[in-house]
Amino acid sequence: MVSPPRGATRPLKIAFITGFGRSGTTLVDNILAQVEGIFSAGELQYLWDRGAADDRLCSCRRTFSECPIWSRVAADALPDADPAELARLAAVRESWSPGRTLKHHLSGRGPDEATASYLDRLGRVVDTLRRETGARVIVDSSKSPGHGWLLRRLPGVEVYAIHLVRDARAVAWSWQKKKIYDDSGPEPMYMSRHSPARSARLWSVWNLATEILWRGDRRYLRMRYEAFAEAPEKALAEILGFLDEPADRLPFTGPSTVELNDLHTFAGNPSRFAEGPVEVRPDVGWRSQQPAGQRRLVTLLTWPLLLRYGYRLTA
C-alpha cells in the first residue's frame, strides 16, 4: 500500500528478504506490503524470465504485461529487451550462485562487464518502481544470496537484509510437498521439490552464505520465522523499527489476523495470491507427520547451524 512520494531525495530503501526457500518469506513479504509507504516487488530476480518473457500471472490476477505496475516497468526499463536479451539477463542472474558470490565478495573484486550491464537494467527497474509506486521502501523477497550482493551494488539505494531462518526439519518437510502454481494453465505446473538431504545441504549453504555476506553490516536483521508466526504484530514492529519506518499503524485486524490486499507480485510461492483476512499461525504439522528417520538425517546434516539459531536438536 503506497502513498505519493515523500522525501524524494532520500535514498530508496530496499527490504531484501533473504534465507532459504520455504522459510516463510512470502508471508512476511505480503504482510510488509500492507504498511503505508511500502511496496512489494515479490521475487524481483525473476523479472526477466517469469515476468517479462513468460508473462506469468501477477497477484492482482492480471498477467505481467497487463498489470498496471509491471507493464510500466517493462515499458520503461525493458523497451528494447528481445527474448535473447531476457534470456541473457536470466543467465547472468543464474551465474551468481552462493559459491561464486562468496568468492567474489571475499576477493573484493567488482562486477564483470556482463554483470555491470545487468545492474544497469536492475537499477532502471528499481527506479521505475520507485517512481510508479511512490514507495519509500521496496520489498524484494528474492532470497538468493547472489541477488542480495548485486542489489547492494545499485547506486542510490539502501539495502536492508531481513534474514528469515526456519527450522531445517520444517523446511525439509515443506520441500517435499507437492505444490501447484496458481497460474498454471491446463497442464498443472508444480513447484520444484527437494529430497530431505538436498534441502538440508542447501539450507546450510544459503544461511551460512547470507551470514558471511552481511557480516558487520548494520543493515542486517536475523529473525526466526517461528518467532514471527508466534507474535506477528510484535515481529512486524521490530522489522519496521529496523527499516526506520513508523510502526504505529500495523495492518492487523486481530492479534494474528492480517488483511492482505493490493499485491503485485509475479513470482514466488502460490500463497502470494492470498487475499483478505489471513490468520498467521505457526505451522507445526511436520512435528507429527515427518518420519523419524528423515528428521534424524536432517538434524545430522544441519546441527551446527540449528544450534547457532537456537533450535533444539531433539525437535
Question: Residue numbers of the site for Zn ion (CB under 5 A)?
Answer: 58, 60, 67, 264
Selection from 257, 273, 256, 255 nearest residue 265 by Cα:
273
Task: Compute CA distances 268 → 43, 57, 97, 155, 243, whole Å.
Answer: 6, 11, 19, 26, 23
C-alpha cell at 8: 524524494
Output 70 or 149, the one with its CB closest to Zn ion: 70
**C-alpha neighbours within 13 Å on the C-beta side of residue 29:** 37
- Report in angstroms how near the CB of residue 82 gets to Zn ion at its nearest: 23
- Report in angstroms how near the CB of residue 65 gets to Zn ion at its nearest: 10
- Tell me how far apart the 2 most distant CA atoms of the chain are, in Å: 56
Output 169 or 264, the one with its CB closest to Zn ion: 264
Output 60 or 258, the one with its CB closest to Zn ion: 60
Output 69 or 171, the one with its CB closest to Zn ion: 69
Sequence-distant (6+) residues with CB within 8 A of 160 are: 13, 14, 15, 16, 219, 220, 221, 242, 243
- Report in angstroms how near the CB of residue 53 gets to Zn ion at its nearest: 17
Output 60 or 86, the one with its CB closest to Zn ion: 60
CA distance linking residue 306 with residue 8, whole number of Å: 42
What is the four-CA torsion angle of 146, 147, 150, 151, rounded to 10 degrees? -140
Angle at 44 between CA 41 and CA 50, to 5 degrees: 110
Output 35 or 60, the one with its CB closest to Zn ion: 60
- Report in angstroms how near the CB of residue 85 gets to Zn ion at its nearest: 23
- Report in angstroms how near the CB of residue 52 gets to Zn ion at its nearest: 14
- Report in angstroms how near the CB of residue 60 gets to Zn ion at its nearest: 3
C-alpha cell at 163: 534474514
- Compute how many other C-beta atoms are within 10 angstroms of the C-beta atom of residue 102: 18
What is the four-CA torsion angle of 100, 101, 106, 108, rounded to 10 degrees? 110
- Report in angstroms how near the CB of residue 28 gets to Zn ion at its nearest: 19
Output 41 or 240, the one with its CB closest to Zn ion: 41
